[in-house]
Amino acid sequence: MLEAGPDFDPGRHGRLTSLLEDVLSARQLLERARHDKRLVEQQQLRKDLLGALEAYADALAVVGAPLPPRLRSEIDLYRGLGGRG
């Protein structure tokens, strides 16, 4: 069984878990909206997802964890989309 290292902080781990859950939830909402919602609603959901992704990336940086390349690409994608459909 894996033991927690000396730098393990349950509060920090809980925060990262919570932020990751926010990202996953935002992704699900956007995926459903692609078929059911108007473009304006989809744009807001994209902004919400970008905010969740950026918050998670910032939290990873604070703890010194690397940002996965796919996460960086996803952030870049939604930043690039900006207000476009």
The domain segmentation of the chain, as residue ranges, is 50-85
Rounded to 5 degrees, φ, ψ at 24 are -60, -40
- How far is Cα 37 from Cα 18, in angstroms, rounded to an integer? 26
Question: pLDDT tens digits, residue range 2-13?
Answer: 344 445 566 677
pLDDT score of 3: 43
- How far is Cα 27 from Cα 31, in angstroms, rounded to an integer? 6
Q: Give the closest residue to 45 by CA, choosing from 27, 58, 57.
A: 27
Question: pLDDT tens digits, residue range 53-75?
Answer: 999 999 999 999 999 999 999 99
